[in-house]
Amino acid sequence: MTSAVTYHRVSTADQDPELAREDLRRGAQARGLDVVEEIEETGSGARGDRPGLARVLDLARRSRISTVLVWKLDRFGRSSLDLLSNIKALTDAGVRFVAVTQGLDVQPRGDAMSQLILTVLAGVAEFERELIKERTAQGVAKARRKGVRLGRPRALTRDQVDRVRQLRFENVPWPEVAKIVGCSVSSARRAAPAQKGTPEQLSLTA
């Protein structure tokens, strides 16, 4: 099977994809591939809602294509982790991946060059993963130094619940209630459902 799809993503609507489109068509022709679908979409790639990419991967999983051609590597993933995952999804499905302007050709058969490319990508992805973990740890440490409470919010004690209801009975605004009691606004709201009566009566119904 020599059927292929071309995939191209532009980051903003004002970019002209015509150059990439022509390069992709020439790349397919030079490799003797029959392009059955040209998939283009616009977006930064930072979000997960990429229907065009989802379409490419679906065609690969259903064995409808033999090759995916992209203009450049960064058009096929929003990060090295994402890129490696997408290429692996293709090769696992027996589909070839080609970046036409960069001379990269990853074969599902696992030839030496393909393995080298995947190994390099895996190394970069692991480096990126470690950077993310390090930055996350630094962010957590910084938040803790500032006294920010992390993790799931703690359940309010009975005294806190009663205090919330007393303050709300006195028409104290929610943000001020949360500040006085030492909890989030959402926790305070959960502690004081909209009911009528005195704080003592509300406490008895809890």
Domain residue spans in the chain? Answer: 3-126, 158-205
Is 3-126 assigned to CATH 3.40.50.1390? yes
pLDDT on residue 113: 76
Structure confidence at residue 181 (pLDDT)? 87
Q: Which residues contact 191 (CB under 8 A, 6 or more apart)?
A: 156, 160, 161, 164, 165, 183
In the predicted model, residues of the chain with pLDDT beneath 50 are 195-206
Predicted model pTM: 0.60
Task: Give the separation between CA 107 and CA 95, rounded to whole angstroms.
Answer: 7
203 is a catalytic site residue: no
Answer yes or no: are the C-beta atoms of 107 and 96 closer than 8 Å: yes
Burial 27-52 (b: 16+ CB within 10 A, else e): bbeeeebebeebbebebebeeeebee
List 11, 44, 63, 186, catalytic entry: 11
8 touches 70 (CB < 8 A): yes
Q: What is the pLDDT of residue 23?
A: 94
